[in-house]
Structure 1
Amino acid sequence: MAVENITWHDASVTRKERNRKNEHESFVLWFTGLSGSGKSTLANAVSRKLFEDDKQTYVLDGDNIRHGLNNDLGFSPEDRKENIRRIGEVSKLFVDAGYIVSTAFISPYREDRQQVRQLLQDGEFIEIYVECSLETCEERDPKGLYRKARNGDIPSFTGISSPYEEPESPELVVNTEENSIEGAADLIVDYLKGKELL
């Protein structure tokens, strides 16, 4: 959508200057997967490791964002799309501010995740598929959402009555059935070091 009568103003402090001061690159770790797969727990575990290593880091959590910025959105396909669009734009701002931002959102549609990727420069969007079977996620059911979905209390619940489109070529796949959260977080940090992003 074209916006009229506004002008972009360049910042006096550039992202490159922030990255140089922080002594690390800034980018998005996009955690995607089913509810209960461990996205938020893993994103926070990685953020803690990075923070303790003196990195500028922040976590955008799906539920938390819906308490504020996106509290006007429901769970229809259109609202889900807008939810992810807004998070993409917020993530882009964090990257510009020099942060490593971790986003923990189901983000069930490939097209929406791809649109966020396109907002950023090459190498700034790192898609992490938090792989976990529906059966295990349903057994965990930390928020009781699967039970409600099975009872028909939650319409359009991802994995039950609404689709989840697995990433086709994510930068990283981390299986939380095979790895502990600590082990999975170490895999991600090792990946980032291998890419010389830290």
Structure 2
Amino acid sequence: MEHRGVTVWFTGLSGAGKTTISQQIAKRLKKAGCKLEVLDGDIVRTNLTKGLGFSKEDRDENIRRIGFVSHLLTRNGVIVLVSAISPYREIRQEVRERVGDFVEVFANAPLAECEKRDVKGLYKRARAGEIKGFTGIDDPYEAPESPEVECRTDLEELKESVEKVLAKLTELGYLSA
């Protein structure tokens, strides 16, 4: 499969399905022979942005750093799949402008559904007051106003979400058979 460099930025609440969708897309694109990198927010925080906290300033810096790496890879013809909560619109827009070839995917699931899926127990700990400034509980999540793709992960199957993203990348000229 031929392709152009692009950053596909998955945003949404913790547990909304960002990583799950991006992992499935990564499998498909690797199988098709695409140059690909996956930047998962949890993994990035333990390596590239270690030491940053969860204040608004630190969250913005975390996203800026991910955006910088995404930009370098994208301009070198790599498809970059970023899975990061990235709760604030303004910093997502800043990264979009820096990268240029940028497709925003909103993994959209209601907070109650994300809490049901809480495999790490983070929402439970946030509700108990053990985690302060948790996105969706006591820190805001600013949903995208016009993402290129919206995956309603509470209403659609994983395969449907994956196909929507791949179809949009093809429509925008980033992928071709």
- Indicate the TM-score class for this superposition, using the shorter chain for normalisation: over 0.9
SS in 2 for 1:91: helix
Cα displacement (A) at 1:195? 2.1
Q: Structure 2 matches for 1:39-78, cutoff 5 A? A: 39-78=18-57
- 1:82 counterpart letter in structure 2: E
Q: State the match for 1:195 in structure 2.
A: 172
Question: Larger Cα Rg: Structure 1 or Structure 2?
Answer: 1
TM-score when normalising by structure 2? 0.96
State the distance in 2 between where 1:99 and 1:177 align: 30
Q: State the match for 2:82 in structure 1.
A: 103
Segments ≥4 residues shifted beyond 2 Å = none
TM-score when normalising by structure 1? 0.86
**Structure 1: segments with no counterpart, 5+ residues:** 1-21
Identity among equivalent positions (%) equals 46
Superposed CA offset, 1:110-138 (max 9, x none): 000000011023xx110111110000000
State the distance in 2 between where 1:190 and 1:93 align: 24
Cα displacement (A) at 1:182? 2.1
**Structure 2: segments with no counterpart, 5+ residues:** none
The reply to whether residue 169 of structure 1 matches residue 146 of structure 2 is: yes
Q: State the match for 1:137 in structure 2.
A: 114
SS in 1 for 2:151: strand
